[in-house]
Amino acid sequence: MKVVVTGGCGFIGSNYVRGLLESRWGTVPTQVTVIDVLTYAGNIANLDPVIGDKRLTLHTVDINETQKVSDIISGHDVVVHFAAESHVDRSITDSGGFIRTNVLGTQSMLQACLVSAVPQFVHVSTDEVYGSIAHGSWDEQEPLLPNSPYAASKAGSDLVARSYYRTYGLDVRITRCSNNFGAYQFPEKAIPLFITNLIEGKKVPLYGDGLNIRDWLHVDDHCNAIDLVVQKGRAGETYNIGGGTELNNRELTTMILSGMGHGDEMIDWVEDRLGHDRRYSVNWTKIHDELGYTPQHSIAESMPHIIDWYRSNPQWWQPLKAKK
């Protein structure tokens, strides 16, 4: 199988690429083509473990350049579309880039698939498109009620992707995941930011009252689920991907502090984020029952390994924090 991975130098995309080439997922690729424009969060070093694999090709191209992309992806079997601006705080400061990349960029990739006759498109999205839920969990039939510019841009991209299935008959499959964690995560996100701050002797910034709740999903579980969708998913369907562990931000912070030998004295309570969603929770019964997905990595068991990875790889994250 010939696989295109957009955003393949980012956190989740690069994990998927490494897993493909290391035979961690079910798909056995004969070729993996990465398209990544290498913005601040795209890092070629994320592919270092597999950069010598002859099946891997990297193209530094903007996904909005439809004709260039069409030429690159011609002859491939599937596009797995990770490329996105994803940091909520940045979307609040400047939403324009999020609309350009997440909405227009997704449309460009879909159009390129039509032009080049690539038969399958897997669109990687987020649970944030649903908004906030006080109780229970969203299933895939819930309306989209995004509350941040980032979430709105992803909701828009989901709808554009769906339209290419309904209008043109392109085999489009959409996934919506909960919060990811793991190695190689850009250090503006909560877990790597907190860990690297503590390594540097700095406090960790905790928003508001710290009681916002998220479901936590290991990046390996996420990528395994995506690959199940590639292999066995149905055209036109949406699949929620959850991690099975809900924590509020205060509990998450305590877990990290405790794991690094610190207490509450290292918390810097900061003003809450604008429009901060209180709770996310996805019902992932559908992908479990249809495709056999079950998360294998709990955040509590994984956290010591994540902490050790950042402690052992300052050469990876220190330049990123210096320039962000």
Taking phi first (over 0 means left), then psi (-120 to 50 degrees means alpha), and beta for anything else, what does residue 169 get?
Answer: left
CA distances, 81 to each of 12, 172, 234, 251, 298 (Å): 11, 11, 16, 32, 26
309, 47, 245, 174 alpha-carbon torsion, rounded to 10°: 170
Query: Of 128, 220, 221, 227, which one is the catalytic site residue?
Result: 128
For residue 281, give both structure tokens. 């929770």
Question: Is position 150 annotated as part of the catalytic site?
Answer: yes
N- to C-terminal Cα separation, the chain:
36
Residue 178: per-residue pLDDT:
96
Nearest alpha-carbon partner for 127 in 173, 176, 189? 176
Sheet holding 171-177, edge to edge: 56-59, 31-35, 2-6, 78-81, 120-126, 171-177, 238-241
Residue 128: per-residue pLDDT:
94
With residue 80 as reference, give the H or E element that holds it.
Answer: strand 78-81
CA distances, 162 to each of 121, 157, 176, 238 (Å): 11, 9, 13, 9
Question: Is position 128 annotated as part of the catalytic site?
Answer: yes
Domains and CATH numbers, the chain: 2-182+218-242+276-296 (3.40.50.720)
Question: Is position 207 annotated as part of the catalytic site?
Answer: no
Calculate ∠ Cα 287-55-309, nearest 5°: 65
C-alpha of 266 from chain center: 28
Residue 49: per-residue pLDDT:
96
CA distances, 30 to each of 55, 56, 83 (Å): 6, 9, 22
Q: Are 79 and 109 contacting, i.e. CB atoms less than 8 angstroms apart?
A: yes
Query: Of 85, 127, 220, 277, which one is the catalytic site residue?
Result: 127
For residue 34, give both structure tokens. 């990465």
Crossing angle between the packed helical segments 299-312 and 190-199, to the nearest 10 degrees:
50
pLDDT tens, position by position, for the chain (324 residues)?
999 999 999 999 999 999 999 999 999 999 999 999 998 888 999 999 999 999 999 999 999 999 999 999 999 999 999 999 877 778 777 888 889 999 999 999 999 999 999 999 999 999 999 999 999 999 999 999 999 999 999 999 999 999 999 999 999 999 999 999 999 999 989 999 999 999 999 999 999 999 999 999 999 999 999 999 999 999 999 999 999 999 999 999 999 999 999 999 999 999 988 878 899 999 999 999 999 999 999 999 999 999 999 999 999 999 999 875
Residue 85: per-residue pLDDT:
86
Residue 36: per-residue pLDDT:
97
Residue 95: per-residue pLDDT:
84
For 126-185, the DSSP string reads: EGGGG---SSS-B-TTSPP---SHHHHHHHHHHHHHHHHHHHH--EEEEEEE-EEE-TT-
